[in-house]
Structure 1
């Protein structure tokens, strides 16, 4: 004898309504709302009696023009790329300043850190101009970052031409301004609210 679920007996009409597929107008309304929210210009979803649902263009697009940009579901910056780029840990937008980006790259390279080393240790970078911390914390973080990254140093670093430490530190601390860098402003770097020394955000 088949077992009957008590809910099936008590709520047959509600269950039937939940399992009933939406009507074509409801489906069309859903897709139109979705396209409007994502600002997909020139696109529409239509039902074709032979091919089913499809995405159609109702405008002429130029060659190379962006047609559809979907929202990012999940993303992560590769540890080796953190040597080259200081970006927001949420949206991956460049943050800080042009001087900070260059100074940070020079600082890490001066330690022998390389994108090809594949060091698995956490890369704690020094605090810099723009992150909301006291000067003493800035110095401590600078020293800690030096020690952590020194372990990732490359053994083949004898052919490099290094700049004076004062120049690199002045770039990191915002004391040196490069020509025309004010034409390329970047969002301020916000330290991680959780207190980690590895993640920074643009807002």
Structure 2
């Protein structure tokens, strides 16, 4: 664009820049929410694994539940262990655009924000996929823990109905007769 075209587009570029800045802020906020949810799931998986470990459980489904909880913890930690989102560096931005015209600075800032958004989007998508795996693993762990505990306790504590009386044996009938 020529300097005159940039000047003619200043209002449009200001609008675009404000929208891009707001979108980057929403992207960052969304990433923070995924982090928070991942921390919750990691804590839940760790607590559920401790609970299962303190109980008697059926070995196969119990071991599978522990594997599911381990997957949840591993993927959950990887969610909030990713690189930080990219954003404008204040000093570098000032140095790069201080001598530019308003239109040129707005155009360059818009392009920079678009690149940051695209890079951050890759991180955000990865976080979201890992959170989904974490959630599925926690759900599988809960299901497997429940199955393991139910299978292990199956038959324990069940109420049994009294049996029908059986025919008295010869030794049982002779004992009361002797006491007369």
Bin for the TM-score computed over the shorter chain: under 0.3
Greater share of helix: 2
Structure with greater contact order relative to length (CA < 8 Å, sep ≥ 6)? 2
Larger radius of gyration: 2
